[in-house]
Amino acid sequence: MEKKPLILVSNDDGITAPGIHTLVKVMQKIGEVVVVAPDGPQSGMGHAITIGNTLRLDRSLAFAEVESYECSGTPADCVKLAKHHVLKNRKPDLVVSGINHGSNSSISVLYSGTMSAAIEAAIEGLPAIGFSLCDYGHDIDFSHTEEYVELITRQALEFGIPAGVALNVNFPKKSAKPIAGIKVCRQARAKWEEEFDERKDPQGRVYFWLTGNFVNHDKGEDTDEAALAQNYVSVVPCQFDMTSNYAITVLNNDWNLNPEAEPAGSSKTVESGRAEG
């Protein structure tokens, strides 16, 4: 019999969230599934890890016939513990995270616990995908995502994902119109324009509540936001190497960081961040 791929599943909404149950159901069609997920909501944790505090990992009964564990830490903690403890003698063929309840497109990828699990896997040398549904409703319906989750997962297993890359996959909210297809995109230049609402608790103490609006300043048609607006599934390849190679050249050419050396802009200025010698 053909060996089934080993798939590690995690998320940031917690091990009891509907999205991870949808994801596990799809992954069971494809391979052997192991779940390591937070024991409670960890949304917006970004790439936080637990330092100077205890981490607990317990067997979970959240999934029938699936080896599963709930972790007291963050999504990144879950992937670390999975690789180095739960699966220390086995290497996952793929790590998937989600399906997140809410969008992780554009700038949200930086704050996302869902994507932190996927990016942590990429750091560990494992191919990874984060799945999110752009719906914040109470009675969220994940059913229209299933065939696309399966398709993208099978493609990743068959053809691979470039090293150091995690795929950020976002689904449009379910509507009367069927999903138009899948687009590989770049991350839109968009951001949250935030406000802090000052309030008082019942004891009269001041506290703040983060509010604001998401504003897309990017008019390009090749972005994740454009794809989602047209009812496409967006796929953005993300890398954890955040170096700006262009800025290395600018700093080396325009700044004088070694005053006793050659002046900035001289012929001996270091290019592209490569030190002489």
HEC letters along 176-213: CCCCCEEEECECCCEEEEEEEEEEECCCCCEEEEEEEE
Running DSSP on this structure, what letter comes out for residue 254? Answer: H
User: Is 43 annotated to bind ligand?
Assistant: yes
Helix (H, G, I), strand (E, B) or coil at 166: strand
CA torsion through residues 163, 166, 172, 174, sign: positive
Other C-beta atoms lying within 10 Å of the C-beta of residue 83: 21
Cis link prior to 152 (omega < 30° from 0)?
no
Residue 7 CB-density burial (10 A; 0-12 exposed, 13-18 middle, 19+ buried): buried
Angle at 44 between CA 113 and CA 47, to 5 degrees: 45
Partner residues linked to 218 by β-bridges: none
Q: Are 90 and 143 in contact, with CB atoms under 8 Å apart? A: no
Q: Which of 173, 172, 140 is nearest to 20 (CA)?
A: 140
Kindly state the tokens that stand for 239: 């890398």
Whole-angstrom CA distances from 264 to 19, 68, 216, 277 are 54, 57, 37, 18
Annotated binding site: 12-13, 43, 100
Annotated binding site for a divalent metal cation: 12-13, 43, 100
